[in-house]
Amino acid sequence: MIMEEKSRLGRGLKDVSRFYLSDSPRDESHEPPKDESHEKPEGEPGGQEPGRDLPQPRQCRVIRVICPASALMGAYFTANFSLELARHRQKMIIFDLSSREGEGVQDVLGEAAHPDTASGVLRVRLYGLHDIPVHCSEPDGEAELLDRLNGSGDHNGDRWAVVNTPFCLDSLAKSLVDFDALLLSTLNEASLLQCYACAKVIEQRDPKAGISLVLIDPASSEQASEVSSRFCTFMKQRLGVSVGYLGHLLRDKALEDSLSEHRPLVLGFEPSPARESLAAVSRAFLEQRGLPVFGEEGRP
């Protein structure tokens, strides 16, 4: 009996099952409520801050994750953010345009992603929820990305395509697909300035693109609030861009272990500050778009 279970449940699958297997039927009819708004008190991530218009929900469901400060952090966020959204019953697809060896989404997912012999792509199987296909491409794989989005049965318009995008403004300006952007920044000057440059290029390419900001490892919530507030205000005044602040990510031992063990933080690790912060950012993302948020027990 034990042998049989061992052969059926690998480590990755066990991790997935632990957090994702539920008795909820796979519900294909979860369309995002169009007019529903979940506003939070002012000043909170996901809430509307004074004088700031949040990005409006758009038909475009391609989200580019851009982290100028660290390729590994971008891959970490792409993988875990996608898993978190899947837990909230969103259909996800991941594209990794990063070519940094050892710092890609596949490295973060580790054994949680299995090769799918039928389609030739990796796939994270979330039993009871929608699987997540994972496409790895070169940094200049824009054409492949477009093909996949247009032609693949994986992407039929109601999935979120999360694209781990290397920091390259030239490529960003020439993107073949419309997208919203999620900028990840540390609190240092270089990283924030790169995000400013990113926002400008994105705004020039598509003034309707939604831009969100996530800060990495601030010393305190107060510091994160102040920096995000200054950044968003400047973006509004200088570029006329409304940047939605989603919150901040913390680093801890669990995060380091998840990277060194090649296991996504949201699978197979106990709750920790890093995991909680990632879950909060994911919730804020959904709430900003008026999408349902589910609790740990799988209920809205």
Give the residues lining the site for another protein (CB under 8 A).
68, 70, 72, 102-103, 167-170, 173, 186-190, 192-194, 196-198, 200-201, 217-219, 227, 230-231, 233-234, 238, 252-253, 256, 259-260, 262
**Contact 195/185 with Cβ under 8 angstroms?**
yes
Q: By C-beta, is 19 or 234 nearer to another protein?
A: 234
Q: By C-beta, is 57 or 268 nearer to another protein?
A: 268
Cα distance between residue 8 and residue 72, in whole Å:
31
Cα distance between residue 41 and residue 227, in whole Å:
19
Q: How far is the CB of 24 from another protein (least distance, A)?
A: 36
Cα distance between residue 228 and residue 244, in whole Å:
9
Give the burial class of 262: count Cβ atoms within 10 A of its Cβ; 0-12 exposed, 13-18 middle, 19 or more buried: middle
Q: By C-beta, is 40 or 200 nearer to another protein?
A: 200
Q: By C-beta, is 99 or 152 nearer to another protein?
A: 99
Q: How far is the CB of 68 from another protein (least distance, A)?
A: 8
Cα distance between residue 270 and residue 255, in whole Å:
11
**Contact 168/195 with Cβ under 8 angstroms?**
no
Q: By C-beta, is 54 or 274 nearer to another protein?
A: 274
Q: Please state the separation of Cα 64 from the chain's center in Å.
A: 8
Q: What are the residues whose beta carbons fall under 8 Å from the beta carbon of 113, sequence distance 6 or more?
A: 12, 106, 122, 123, 124, 134
Q: How far is the CB of 255 from another protein (least distance, A)?
A: 11
Give the amino acid at 108: V
Q: Cα dihedral angle (45, 48, 49, 52), rounded to 10 degrees?
A: 120
Q: How far is the CB of 54 from another protein (least distance, A)?
A: 21
Q: By C-beta, is 159 or 248 nearer to another protein?
A: 248
Strands (E), 43-186: 62-66, 91-96, 113-115, 122-124, 132-136, 159-165, 180-185
Q: How far is the CB of 96 from another protein (least distance, A)?
A: 17
Q: How far is the CB of 71 from another protein (least distance, A)?
A: 10
Q: How far is the CB of 175 from another protein (least distance, A)?
A: 13
Q: By C-beta, is 216 or 291 nearer to another protein?
A: 216
Q: How far is the CB of 140 from another protein (least distance, A)?
A: 15
Q: By C-beta, is 129 or 232 nearer to another protein?
A: 232
159-165 β-sheet, strand order: 113-115, 122-124, 132-136, 91-96, 159-165, 62-66, 180-185, 211-216, 243-249
Cα-only R_g, the chain: 18
